[in-house]
Amino acid sequence: MYDLAIIGGGPGGYVAAERAGAAGLKVVLFERKSLGGVCLNEGCIPTKTLLYSAKVYNYAKTGDHYGVYVSDPSFKYDEIVARKNKVVKKLVGGVKAAMKGNKVEVVAENATIQGRDNEGVKIEAGGNVYAAKNLLICTGSEAAVPPFPGLKEAGDVIVTNREILDLTERPEALVVIGGGVIGMEFAAFFSTLGTKVTVVEMLPKILGPLDDEISEMLQKQYEKRGVEFCLRCKVTGIEGNTVVYEDPEGKVCRVSGDKILVSVGRRANLQGFGLENIGVELALNPAGRPYGIKVDEKMKTNVPGVYAAGDVTGFSMLAHTASREGEVAVNNILGKEDRMRYNAIPGVVYTNPEVAGVGLTESEAKAKGIDFKVVKLPMAYAGRFVAENERGEGICKIIVGAKYHEVLGVHMLGNPCSEIISAACVAIETEMTLEQLQEVVFPHPTVSEIIKETSFTIK
């Protein structure tokens, strides 16, 4: 009998397994593909590795901005992809070692929940049955691919975040359907390498949930580099290597590419592992369709001893959310008081420049009817930013409550805001006010000082 069975070895599942194993629980983890899940194998890590190659290439091309001359910079696409594979392999090895180090039994099979009795949950995998007192479901999500007319016939012209990682050649032209996080990161990668990129997005802005001003600034920077944006444009079909869409006036337009990336969101994996056999309740969207497993703030489902964490819950589909949710589940299994909070979850888009935000945006604060103030400064107020970002533009915005100046949200554009945003996460998590933030000593010279500088502009 195991204390905890975990289905899915992504950042929800493997982090939970590590914590539970370290706390002395007897843990079995089922992963049918590769440890690390989407994040490590076909998401966060491979894309950041590719994007770093593009960044290095861009440094070589723009060295003259810094007085450094590189003659005729070039790249080998297959070597960029090979390095990505090497990085993924190394990190998957790291997860394997962490499982071993914490005495987690890893079963490399497809797991199916068989049912539940007084003793716990029974799971079948590879012909064996495993019994566990608790179950944590971390089966993740997959790319949502709408049934656009002509999509099937287009064959391998159509790619999702998974197939695009292993192209053997760089496409000359790429059409991206959906200007969200995945769409923008691939638009950034391929446009830097010289691909003609067109982004077709049905909303009036790219990166929908992000701060409006920041998403507009980022769009302008990519427009200058030749990326074309078709906003308020809804895709209606595919004709071979051509995307058909309706422009804001209702006119039918077409744009072609060697590849078409479909990045219009992700869907929780709710099927194929026997969820129905234990009667777990699903969360429904306003149209009554299930979008994830319903959990409470302790990550508990309606079935005693059964928890869920990560993308399978269907709302905050981010690796770091998954890991924290997994930890909350494990802490509750261990009898510790812990609950999930979503007000300080950072979001980062690894374009160049990067975008990072945590907490409420201005529009969210408005929609919630909160009495708030906004303070902001260009990134150039941080000396280090100027030193390292020739011709770079950026911004730091802080949203605070109007009366007490408690930090509600921080949003930034400019490198390396993906690293700096953690300071803002701590400020929100610990309910700091701007005045308290002003008393913190930030290292000089760092770009992070922009947060402190911005905090002093409150009136």
Closest CA to 6 of 88, 113, 91: 113
266 binds ligand NAI, rule: CB under 6 A: yes
200 binds ligand NAI, rule: CB under 6 A: yes
183 binds ligand NAI, rule: CB under 6 A: yes
First-to-last alpha carbon distance for the chain, in angstroms, is 61
349 binds ligand NAI, rule: CB under 6 A: yes
Q: Which of 164, 328, 348, 434 binds ligand NAI (CB under 6 A)?
A: 348
Cα(7)–Cα(30) distance, rounded to whole angstroms? Answer: 5
Give me the residues paired with residue 400 across strands: 373, 407
Active site residue 405: no
Q: Which span sits near ligand NAI by CB under 6 A: 77-85, 105-113, 117-125, 201-209?
A: 201-209
Q: Scan for tokens 């076909």, then name that residue.
A: 42
Residues within window 206-235 making contact with ligand NAI, judged by CB under 6 A: 208, 234-235
DSSP assignment letter at 300? B
Cβ 347 to ligand NAI shortest distance, Å: 6
Angle at 189 between CA 268 and CA 246, to 5 degrees: 65
Burial-class residue 336 by CB neighbours within 10 Å (0-12, 13-18, 19+): exposed
Cα(209)–Cα(332) distance, rounded to whole angstroms? Answer: 31
| Nearer CB in complex with ligand NAI: 183/305 | 183
Relative to beta strand 173-177, strand 290-293 is: unpaired
Six-digit token string for 395: 């911004």
131 binds ligand NAI, rule: CB under 6 A: no
Helix axes 319-333, 13-22, angle to 10 degrees: 30
Cβ 33 to ligand NAI shortest distance, Å: 18
Q: Which of 20, 91, 165, 264 binds ligand NAI (CB under 6 A)?
A: 264
Q: Which span sits near ligand NAI by CB under 6 A: 94-102, 131-139, 151-159, 259-267?
A: 259-267
201 binds ligand NAI, rule: CB under 6 A: yes
Looking at 46-143, which runs of residues are DSSP E strands? 105-107, 111-117, 120-125, 128-137, 141-143
Q: Which span sits near ligand NAI by CB under 6 A: 70-78, 164-172, 260-268, 448-456?
A: 260-268
Cβ 88 to ligand NAI shortest distance, Å: 15
Burial-class residue 446 by CB neighbours within 10 Å (0-12, 13-18, 19+): middle
Q: What string of DSSP letters covers 427-438?
A: HHHTT-BHHHHH
413 binds ligand NAI, rule: CB under 6 A: no
Q: Which of 39, 80, 181, 193 binds ligand NAI (CB under 6 A)?
A: 181
Helix axes 212-224, 181-192, angle to 10 degrees: 20
Cβ 276 to ligand NAI shortest distance, Å: 25
Residues within window 285-324 making contact with ligand NAI, judged by CB under 6 A: 317-318
| Nearer CB in complex with ligand NAI: 251/403 | 251
| Nearer CB in complex with ligand NAI: 180/326 | 180
Cβ 161 to ligand NAI shortest distance, Å: 7
- How many residues of this chain bind ligand NAI (CB under 6 A)? 24
One-letter amino acid at 19 equals: R
Q: What string of DSSP letters covers 218-257?
A: HHHHHHHTT-EEETT-EEEEEETTEEEEE-TTS-EEEEE-
Six-digit token string for 85: 């594979």
Cβ 200 to ligand NAI shortest distance, Å: 5
| Nearer CB in complex with ligand NAI: 232/384 | 232
Cβ 296 to ligand NAI shortest distance, Å: 22
Q: Which of 10, 171, 180, 416 binds ligand NAI (CB under 6 A)?
A: 180
| Nearer CB in complex with ligand NAI: 6/177 | 177
426 binds ligand NAI, rule: CB under 6 A: no
Q: Which span sits near ligand NAI by CB under 6 A: 111-119, 178-186, 284-292, 353-361?
A: 178-186
Cα(102)–Cα(118) distance, rounded to whole angstroms? Answer: 28
Residues with a catalytic annotation lie at: 444
For ligand NAI, the binding residues (CB under 6 A) are 177-183, 185, 200-203, 208, 234-235, 263-266, 317-318, 348-350
